[in-house]
């Protein structure tokens, strides 16, 4: 695994030109310091513990909307969200796998059980959620944060039966 400092607060992930930004440094490579994004910034978030076809299709759908930035829950937040036996794969490994996907432009950690801070820091043009959510079932704090900054919330089509939880139930 090859890593190296790219700018203060960030580490280049695995020599592929993607960045796993440290806590609080979500936006460091988006605008090159100009404060203005070069293309539409798209946010997708999740645990991405055991990657499935459902995850890949969601990420490919998200990338159709612009430059895809994927926020992954850190190991501690996954334990809170999914239980003590999770995650199966540690954050660094999940980031590596996601960063290898053509659809993904950047991967960063989320150090919380909600993505409100990531939304407000990244200020995406589009926030992609799976169609298993609706505006009413989204975390309302996250929804308000997105609406406050003008982020469009888009629901991606979902493949039934393709989830980490479903995979684990078969093992």
The model's pLDDT over 75-121, given as tens digits with 9 standing for 90+, comes to: 999 999 988 988 999 999 999 999 999 999 999 999 999 999 999 99
Phi, psi values for residue 65, rounded to 5°:
-95, -5
Compute the average pLDDT of residues 143-159.
94
Distances in Å between the Cα of 136 and the Cα atoms of 102, 118, 141, 151 are: 32, 20, 11, 16
Q: So what's the pLDDT on residue 158?
A: 81
Domain boundaries, given as residue ranges, for the chain: 36-170
Confidence of residue 159 (pLDDT cuts 50, 70, 90): confident
Tell me how far CA of residue 67 lies from CA of 18, 29, 70, 90, in angstroms.
12, 12, 10, 25
The CATH number of 36-170 is: 3.40.50.620
Identify the pLDDT of residue 171.
78
* Residue 69: other Cβ atoms inside 10 A: 25
pLDDT confidence of residue 19: 43
Quick check: helix, strand or coil at residue 135? coil
Residue 167: per-residue pLDDT: 62
pLDDT at residue 163, as a whole number = 67
Q: What is the pLDDT of residues 9-52, one digit of tens each?
A: 443 333 333 344 444 444 444 444 455 555 799 999 999 988 98
Residue 109 to residue 68: CA distance in whole angstroms: 14
b/e 130-140 (16+ beta carbons within 10 angstroms → b): beeeeeeebee
Q: What is the pLDDT of residue 30?
A: 46
Q: Supply the pLDDT for residue 7.
A: 39
């Amino acid at each position: 695994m090859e890593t190296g400092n790219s700018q203060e607060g960030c580490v280049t992930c695995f020599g592929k030109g993607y960045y796993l930004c440290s806590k609080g440094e979500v936006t460091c490579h988006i605008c090159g310091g100009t404060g203005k994004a070069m293309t539409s910034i798209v946010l997708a978030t999740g645990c991405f513990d055991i990657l499935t076809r459902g995850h890949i299709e969601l990420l490919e759908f998200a990338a159709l909307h612009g430059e895809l930035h994927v926020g992954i829950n850190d190991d501690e937040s996954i334990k809170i969200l999914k239980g003590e036996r999770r995650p199966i794969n540690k954050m660094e490994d999940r980031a590596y796998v996601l960063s290898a996907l053509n659809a993904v432009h950047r991967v960063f950690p989320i150090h919380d059980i909600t993505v409100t801070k990531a939304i407000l820091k990244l200020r995406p043009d589009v926030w992609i959620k799976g169609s298993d959510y609706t505006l009413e079932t989204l975390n309302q704090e996250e929804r308000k944060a997105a609406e406050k900054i003008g982020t469009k919330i888009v629901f991606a089509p979902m493949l039934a039966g393709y989830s980490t939880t479903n995979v684990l139930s078969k093992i």
